[in-house]
Amino acid sequence: MEANLEHTFQPKIVGFFCNWCTYLAADLAGVSRLHYAHNLRIVRVMCSGRVHPEHVLWAFKNGADGVLLGGCHPGDCHYIEGNYKNLRRYLLLKKMLGQFGIDERRLRLEWISASEADKLKQVADEFTDQLRALGPLNVRAALPDFVLPEPPVGNGEALVPEAEAGPTEKPKVGFYWAASCGGCEEAVVDLAEDLLTVAEKVDLAFWPVALDFKREDVEQMADGELLATFINGAVRLSEQEEVVKLLRRKSKLVIAFGACAHLGGIPGLANAQSRTDILDYYYHDGPIVENPQRTVPDPAVTEQQAGFDLPVFYDDVRALDQVIAVDYYIPGCAPTPEIVKNAVLTLLSGALPPRGSVLASDRALCHECPLNETKPDEGLHIEAFSRPHEVERIDPDTCLLQQGLVCLGPVTRGGCGALCVKGHMPCTGCFGPLDGVKDFGASALSFVASLIDANDEEEIHRIIDHAIPDPLGTFYMYALPKALLFKRLGVRDGVQHEEHEEVAYHG
Ligand code: SF4
Ligand code: SF4
């Protein structure tokens, strides 16, 4: 028997159990000496409605092969409807887990009352067998390790002593773009006359998109010679990795500038596909592709007997602070000129906020939205969400959520002035999470699920499937690389893994 146990895969199951029912059922099973699978690790919560999607994602990320949610039967919740809230989140989260490449059966919800020790035993045994058949999940092994060294120089102290900043010794500043659309560079140009105010105070020592600077110019600088470098864009190519690491060495401060550098941004959505899928589509299978020799980009190119290197296209997209240490963040897609100007002037003043700060408001967007007063005081209950193209006429004077549009303003950092809402489009979350929120997508999913006005599983499915066909794209539009799960996982040899590990970052 022991030898068998040793050689059989033993899945790890994290159970989040409500204090008033399922936890008591587990207690009763113990007192009654009922034997059930030892694979279950129980976390007691006051109500199943307390379980946040982030808890579930955290469990998977940290080695769980399955997660079991246990709550009181419908109608029996001690907090009236906590278990229904749990059900809505669970159904939406399950759908999103599938998009992360995690089999939906790895997340299970059961209503188990305090007297149902037998049911607890049956569920624990059955779930263990099911997970055993699915095999290990191995999320932790599949995800990269993002522990980075501290920046080599500068750490939030005043950087420009008055005496040094004379007219001939203006601090040097750099701008660089990595994987981005260029919109953040536009945001700098959009400073208009304010650009002159900024330019008066600094020496633009590196800005390849606007002026003729070469990589060698940076290589020749002393370490820490640049006061600050603003880097926009995520990191996908080897060249981007090399240049941001070089700029890190040469800069006292590095500022992640815009949503792509801050959170991975739109380019980060590519983490929902494997590298091979992307290359296959663009070089082989796309509807307008003709490539009979099935050529794909090769980093080592020989042309007319001369060899040269092309940048390597890595397995995944990373936010800037997953590649180098970052001192400050300027959010937005793109950041507004006002935020850019204030951030630059704050940095130049030497009165620096704590390292790691996001240089924008820490209040939710709704606080600055002109439609906030039209949101009902008693909370919102939505029977049917709509997608913007389905609404014939959006009422410009009523909160968009109140009109059934998925507006992420309540969970998104403010500072943009509600630009999209003023243009009658719901907020999609480009300013990212508020301080203290680890996983923006989990927080957005939790919030949207809490609005669904239905308790019946089928009805909840109907509401979700109609308006949120793509939860991963909806909730992580700008923040997928910063999600706890980081990217879609694949299955190889029956075992869950990152799909393609052959083109890895330098570390
Ligand atoms: S939910 Fe959207 S539309 Fe409503 S107040 Fe908040 S930001 Fe404005
Ligand atoms: S409303 Fe939302 S999506 Fe639009 S700019 Fe502001 S934060 Fe970004």
pLDDT tens, residue by residue, 41-92: 999 999 999 999 999 999 999 999 999 999 999 999 999 999 999 999 999 9
- Do 359 and 415 touch, CB atoms closer than 8 A? no
Query: Can you tell me the distance from the alpha carbon of 67 to that of 55, in angstroms, rounded to the nearest whole number?
Result: 10
What is the rounded average pLDDT of the residues 355-371?
A: 95
Residue 190 C-alpha to ligand 2 middle, in angstroms? 17
* CA-closest residue to ligand 2 atom 2: 427
CA atoms within 13 A on the CB side of 375: 17
Average pLDDT score over residue span 494-499: 48
Contact 452, 380 (CB under 8 A): no
Ligand 2 and 428: CB distance under 6 A? yes
Judged against a pLDDT cut of 60, whether residue 155 lies above it is answered with no
- Ligand 1 center to residue 334 CA distance, Å? 19
* pLDDT at residue 319 is higher than 70: yes
In this structure, the dihedral spanned by the alpha carbons of residues 399, 401, 404 and 406, taken in order and rounded to 10 degrees, is 140
- Is 442 in contact with 57 (CB distance < 8 Å)? yes
Residue 158, pLDDT score: 45
> What's at 167, amino acid-wise?
P
Measuring CA to CA, which residue among 341, 74, 81 is closest to residue 196? 341
**Cβ atoms of residues 67 and 56 within 8 Å:** yes
The pLDDT value recorded for residue 148 is 76
pLDDT above 90 for 33:
yes
User: Pairing relation of β-strands 66-71 and 107-111?
Assistant: parallel
Copy the structure tokens of residue 114. Answer: 């305090």
CA of 420 to the centre of ligand 2 (A): 6
Structure tokens at 185: 């560079």
β-strands 495-497, 490-492 pairing: antiparallel
Domain ranges in the chain are 2-142, 162-348, 365-430+433-477
Q: What is the CA radius of gyration of the chain?
A: 26
Q: How far is the CA of 411 from the centre of ligand 1 (A)?
A: 10
Mean pLDDT within 255-273: 97
Assess whether pLDDT exceeds 70 at residue 165: no
Residue 419 confidence class, pLDDT cut points 50, 70, 90: very high
The two most distant CA atoms of the chain are separated, in Å, by: 82
* Of 232, 226, 224, residue with least CA distance to 255: 232
Question: 3-class SS at 179?
Answer: strand
> For position 356, what pLDDT does the model report?
93
- Average pLDDT score over residue span 336-353: 85
Q: How many CA atoms lie within 13 A of 218 on its CB side?
A: 25
| Ligand number, closest to the Cα atom of 424 | 1
pTM comes to 0.92
Does domain 162-348 fall into CATH 2.40.30.10? no
* pLDDT of 264 strictly over 80: yes
401 lines ligand 1 (CB under 6 A): yes
Residue 342: exposure state from Cβ atoms within 10 A (0-12, 13-18, ≥19): middle
Residues 6+ positions from 43 with CB-CB distance below 8 Å: 14, 15, 16, 17, 55
Alpha carbon separation from 27 to 44, 78, 116, 120, 397 (Å, rounded) = 11, 18, 10, 10, 54
The hierarchical CATH code for the domain 2-142 is: 3.40.50
CA distance 138 to 11: 11
Mean pLDDT of the chain: 89
Burial of 345 (0-12, 13-18, 19+ CB in 10 A): middle
pLDDT single digits (tens) 220-246? 999 999 999 999 999 999 999 999 999
pLDDT of residue 501: 47
Structure tokens at 394: 């959006």
Residue 499: pLDDT over 50: no
Does the beta carbon of 427 sit less than 6 angstroms from any atom of ligand 1? yes
pLDDT score for 361: 93
Q: Compute the distance between CA of residue 333 and CA of residue 419 in angstroms, rounded to an integer.
A: 11
Tokens read off for 56: 């579930």
* Segments of 87-171 assigned E as strands: 107-111
pLDDT at 504 exceeding the cut of 70: no
How far, in Å, is the centroid of ligand 1 from the Cα of 372? Answer: 6
Asked, colleague to colleague, whether 2-142 and 162-348 share their fold, the answer is: yes
pLDDT at residue 2, as a whole number: 46
Q: What is the pLDDT of residue 163?
A: 44
88-92, 165-169, 282-286, 417-421, range with the lowest pLDDT: 165-169
pLDDT score at 503: 60
487 vs 157, residue with greater confidence? 487
The finding on whether 399 has its CB within 6 A of some atom of ligand 1 is: yes
Give the position, in ligand 1's atom list, of the atom nearest the Cα of 374.
5
Residue 114: pLDDT above 70? Answer: yes
C-alpha 200/C-alpha 83 separation (Å) is: 59
Residue 327 has pLDDT above 90, yes or no: yes
β-pair type (251-257, 226-232): parallel
DSSP states of 189-236: HTTTHHHHHHHHHSEEEE-TTTS---HHHHHTSPTT-EEEEEEESBEE
- Between 57-61, 155-159, 309-313, the lowest mean confidence (pLDDT) is in 155-159
501: Cα within 13 Å, side-chain hemisphere: 12
Cβ proximity of 232 and 189 under 8 Å: no
Q: What is the mean pLDDT of residues 475-503?
A: 74
Q: How confident is the model at residue 378 (pLDDT cuts 50, 70, 90)?
A: confident
